[in-house]
Amino acid sequence: MKKSLIALAVLAAAGAASAQSSVTLFGIVDATIRHARGDGVGSADRTELTNSGYNSSRLGFRGTEDLGGGMSASFWLEAGMANDTGEGAPTSTNNQGAALFNTSTGANATGRSGTQGLTFNRRSTVSLAGGFGEVRLGRDYTPQFWNLTVFDPFGTNGVGSTQTLGSIITGVTAVRASNSIGYFLPRNLGGFYGQAQVYLGENLENGAATEDDGRGVGLRVGYAAGPFNIAFAGSRTDYAAGDVRQNNIGGQWDFGVAKLQAHISKDRNGTRDGKGFLVGGLVPVGAGEFRLAYSQYEVDLAGDPRTRKLAIGYVHNLSKRTALYTTYARVKNNGGAAVALGGATTGRNESSDGFDFGVRHSF
């Protein structure tokens, strides 16, 4: 009898301990049939089965442990993937190599050699949280990215993604930064929220001109209450060839029958300046939602290259986890720009069209 009571006590203690922590497997598999067309001299069309037309495909693990006293520890490991080929997404180990997913063309940039398997490039962090907020260490989203994606009806995915992201001006840390130390304000501040982040290039401190390359700092502050949400973000990443600076402000107003979204960005890469904006909205209709956006980006180079995009789409939710979607977008280039959609090519000062039709399943 005594042994039985001891065994029951041990099992109860083990159950209580496990109840205080959790680990979750999660992911998104998004496949889209994409057709894109270019105009003018040197143009070429492309038709492909690709991924991430609505949400970025990913596989992840996350977990939380209750430490007591209002504190918790957590981890988050999230890998980007191209489910049409089984390939993992590239990463950047020190914020100095190309590792961006091109949201306009739907193609991965060239990553560091040996990183094309499954890499936790989207996020790989460990955190401590409590009444003081959250301290987060590892590879994570940058503060300057959030306004561009949160206040974009297309969530910076597919052919409809905003033109304010993915430009040569915005640089390697436009979306994520490796080796970052982040701090998030607590959630009980009456609608105010914020994030600060420092990230390291981890170069030898030998006095070389490039010793600070890949080092940066970012900040985002915002206010959300009821139907209203607005936030400002700014950042600087150091490079010997010229610092990269990003500044943007975005907002949303939920009218019930529709959400109006907008953001403005102003960037600098060395001596080159870029600026752009987006206005758009989301209109729920039954089990679906219409998406509409107009965005523009202009670079301060000879001729003032400028690209304007109009995008419209519809998402139909078959369930809470599965959706069908379609998007049509058209870009118009001026000033010598030659931006094309969906992996197509187009002539300078010409137009390009892109079309997505896909299915997204989350788990």
Contact in structure between 321 and 297 (CB atoms under 8 Å): no
Alpha-carbon torsion, ordered 185, 188, 193, 195, to 10 deg: 10
List of long-range contacts for 260-268, beta carbons under 8 Å, 24+ apart = 261/151, 261/152, 261/153, 261/293, 262/151, 263/147, 263/148, 263/151, 263/152, 263/162, 263/164, 265/147, 265/148, 265/164, 265/297, 267/167, 267/169, 267/170, 268/169, 268/243, 268/244
User: pLDDT value at position 161?
Assistant: 98
User: pLDDT value at position 107?
Assistant: 38
User: pLDDT value at position 8?
Assistant: 40
User: pLDDT value at position 116?
Assistant: 64
Query: Per-residue pLDDT tens for 286-315?
Result: 999 999 999 999 999 999 999 999 999 999
Q: How far apart are CA 68 and CA 20, in angstroms?
A: 9
**Residue 108 pLDDT exceeds 70:** no
Write the CA distances from 7 to 2, 4, 13, 21, 144, integer angstroms.
9, 5, 10, 22, 53
**Residue 362 pLDDT exceeds 80:** yes
Domain boundaries, the chain: 27-362
Q: How far apart are CA 108 and CA 63, in angstroms?
A: 28
At residue 168 the predicted structure's pLDDT band, cuts being 50, 70 and 90, is confident
Correct CATH for 27-362 of 3.30.429.10, 2.60.40.420, 2.40.160.10, 3.40.640.10: 2.40.160.10
Contact in structure between 175 and 274 (CB atoms under 8 Å): no
Q: How far apart are CA 142 and CA 363, in angstroms?
A: 25
Identity at 97, one-letter amino acid code: G
**Residue 5 pLDDT exceeds 50:** no
Query: Per-residue pLDDT tens for 37-85?
Result: 999 999 999 999 999 999 999 999 999 999 999 999 999 999 999 999 9
Give the containing element (helix H, strand E) for 115.
none
